[in-house]
Structure 1
Amino acid sequence: MVVEVEIGSLSTADSPRTSGVDPDHVEALAVVQTPLPPITVHRPTMRVIDGLHRLRAAELRGQRKIAVKYFDGAEDDAFVLAVESNVTHGLPLTTADRKRAAARIIATHPQWSDRMIASVSGIAPGTVADIRRREPGSGTGDGSRIGHDGRVRPINGAEGRRLASELIAQNPGLSLRQVARVASISPETVRDVRNRMMRGEDPVVRRGRQPGGEHRVVAPRVRPSAVPDRDAAQDRAAAVKRLKADPALRFSEVGRTLLRLLNIHTISMEEWDQIIDKVPPHCRGVVAYLAGESAEMWAEVATRMQGKVAETA
């Protein structure tokens, strides 16, 4: 519900934008002829959550009132909404502001996973993990965190990995998400468990010590054929070219859609590096999240297609 509120009754304190408003952006909004979207305000404190530049533009126009949508949640949740709003639209927060916001969210929502906080603050999950390690008292007491999908998962996923390996061994046809749901781990972790089992490795990631005494995760050795190099890209391109020559795919709408999707993956890692380097800093977190989601989806597609192959063999 949108209501008209006196501008003088609003507070602009506690903004995640530490540098304040951008005067040029305010002036650009002030001359817009069409009505601007309503701002979001935390009803209990009357603090502006989203729309500080629109508020200043209204003041510049000489308005006494502005359109408002109220948020009735807790103050900590109001800050999270402020960060998320200023990451997904409008004038984006600086990288420094995003990191500061992530540190605060870690403190107020320690039960949230790194990936979930990353999706809100617009930075990479690895960066969130680094910030969490530097923040005193940022861990959760019960050893679990809430993921981006709303599910509660253990921080130490060894037991989940063991359960996933048993499920995969008993029923190889289960999808990544089905195993993840039962084992309370992410689909990406299930994919790693499955790949380890295929290589004859222990599905549980073992921890070792580096010479300096720091704990580290011992990464699995990658087979040369799995390295995404130019030869692999050429092999993928050749495979897609063969599929394009198949009339069963070329002359059906579903087939053409599949070919368009597969064609994206014919580029080499060198070409991907060029794309990655040109992604604007404020978009990197969102792109990383979407890439991860796409990887999980393609992994599940591969599993289902392998199941179809087994059915027709």
Structure 2
Amino acid sequence: MDPTRVDIVTLPIVEIELSRLSSVFSPRTSGEDPEHVETLLSAEGELPPILVHRPTMQVLDGLHRLRAARVRGDEKITARLVDGTESDAFVLAVEANVRHGLPLSLADRKRAAVQIIGTHPQWSDRRVASATGISAGTVADLRRHGGENGNEARIGRDGRIRPVDGSEGRKLAAELIRSDPGLSLRKVAKQVGISPETVRDVRGRLERGESPTPDGSRRLRAEPQPLRWAEPDFGRAADRDRLAVLERLKADPALRLTEAGRILLRMLAMHSLDGQEWGRILHGVPPHLCGVVAGFARDHVRVWGTFADHLENRATDLAAG
């Protein structure tokens, strides 16, 4: 079992003596924030358990809770224990500190990404990005500047092994899609050995009359640019055709008159914003929360992708039945 895939909330809670714990393992290079410790000291109720690496007794998540317990004079603290190697434990520490509590600084997240690239070189840029709360493009930048000589394959966020150069897989996927347009994303992905999301990208390229393989523009965008904070293009976030489809869905009784259908319509409408509105939301995210919100956004991309795959599979199965 991959220790970095552990569902932490399912681990049993135990009490540990404070004297047994070490805090030198933290990815937070700036140390503890006194104001955050004071906030925890003034909080009512019991604080959530900390996360500890069992083999070394290093605190992975909860340095401020540990400090608050020591200031109060406590002798023990509640904790959840995880096993695995120190490198896997570091990944868990980064993920925990990125997702909640006092988020890691951007500098700390970049340092953590460099360390994870070194200890898990087979991981894809997206998987490292998901763990550290920075973009996959930034991870690619860090990987290049670190002088990595590359691996023939990398492990993605879903745990599957894929080749770094996926151009051949994309070409095979394009041939399958052309020969049988009704094949689901998952069936194409399984036959070719690439991810459903890559198949989705290939299908979209074919529909737009483009080559199934990227022409290098994505890689160019990942390079450092003089205008680092140029306004992103959300211009096609809600084009007329898609909005027209949404209006037809809203009028369909099969959706409009059922609870699940109404929930789906609200979700679709919520994501059908125009480019200007997306830009306003983007600029409204506070800098110290960018990493956390980015992590949630990537998670939602994965959920929507899985949802779409299941719908396509269901449609295929119904048509075949």
Q: Which residue number in structure 2 is paired with residue 296 of structure 1?
A: 305
Of 17, 37, 41 in structure 2, the residue corresponding to residue 30 of structure 1 is: 41
1:171 aligns with 2:171: no
> Structure 1: which 5+ runs fail to align?
218-226
Structure 2 Cα separation of the partners of residues 267 and 309 of structure 1: 32
Displacement of 1:302: 8.1
* Residue type at the aligned position of 1:257: I
Structure 2 Cα separation of the partners of residues 251 and 70 of structure 1: 47
Q: Which residue number in structure 1 is paired with residue 113 of structure 2?
A: 102
Q: Which residue number in structure 2 is paired with residue 52 of structure 1?
A: 63
- What does 1:1-313 align with in structure 2 at a 5 Å threshold? 1-137=12-148, 139-140=150-151, 143-206=152-215, 229=235, 233-279=239-285, 280-293=289-302, 296-297=305-306, 300=309
Which moves more between the two structures, 104-113 or 176-185?
A: 176-185
For residues 144-168 of structure 1, the C-alpha deviation after alignment (integer angstroms, 9 at most, x for no partner) is 0000001000000022112212322
With normalisation by structure 2, the TM-score equals 0.80
CA contact (8 A) 1:4 1:67 kept: yes
* Residue type at the aligned position of 2:195: S
3-state SS of paired residue (1:137): coil
Change (3 A) 1:242 1:78: closer
Change (3 A) 1:125 1:288: farther
Displacement of 1:182: 2.6
Which moves more between the two structures, 144-153 or 167-176?
A: 167-176
Displacement of 1:282: 2.6
Change (3 A) 1:14 1:168: same
Structure 2 Cα separation of the partners of residues 101 and 85 of structure 1: 12
Displacement of 1:7: 1.4
Q: Which residue number in structure 2 is paired with residue 222 of structure 1?
A: none
For residues 134-153 of structure 1, the C-alpha deviation after alignment (integer angstroms, 9 at most, x for no partner) is 1123632xx10000001000
Amino-acid identity (%): 53
3-state SS of paired residue (2:172): helix
Change (3 A) 1:108 1:232: closer
CA contact (8 A) 1:106 1:138 kept: no
Displacement of 1:285: 2.7
Structure 2 Cα separation of the partners of residues 302 and 262 of structure 1: 15
Change (3 A) 1:13 1:166: same
User: How many residues are matched?
Assistant: 296
Structure 1 Cα separation of the partners of residues 60 and 271 of structure 2: 40
3-state SS of paired residue (1:15): coil
Structure 2 Cα separation of the partners of residues 309 and 228 of structure 1: 35
Query: How big is the alpha-carbon RMSD for the aligned residues of Structure 1 and Structure 2?
Result: 3.3
With normalisation by structure 1, the TM-score equals 0.82
3-state SS of paired residue (1:270): helix
Change (3 A) 1:308 1:266: farther
Displacement of 1:252: 2.9
* Residue type at the aligned position of 1:260: R
Change (3 A) 1:306 1:9: closer
* Residue type at the aligned position of 2:204: N
Structure 1 Cα separation of the partners of residues 290 and 215 of structure 2: 34
Q: Which residue number in structure 1 is paired with residue 226 of structure 2?
A: none
Displacement of 1:199: 4.2
* Residue type at the aligned position of 1:188: E
> Structure 2: which 5+ runs fail to align?
1-11, 224-232
3-state SS of paired residue (2:191): helix
Structure 1 Cα separation of the partners of residues 236 and 177 of structure 2: 32
Q: Which has the larger radius of gyration?
A: 1
Displacement of 1:298: 6.9
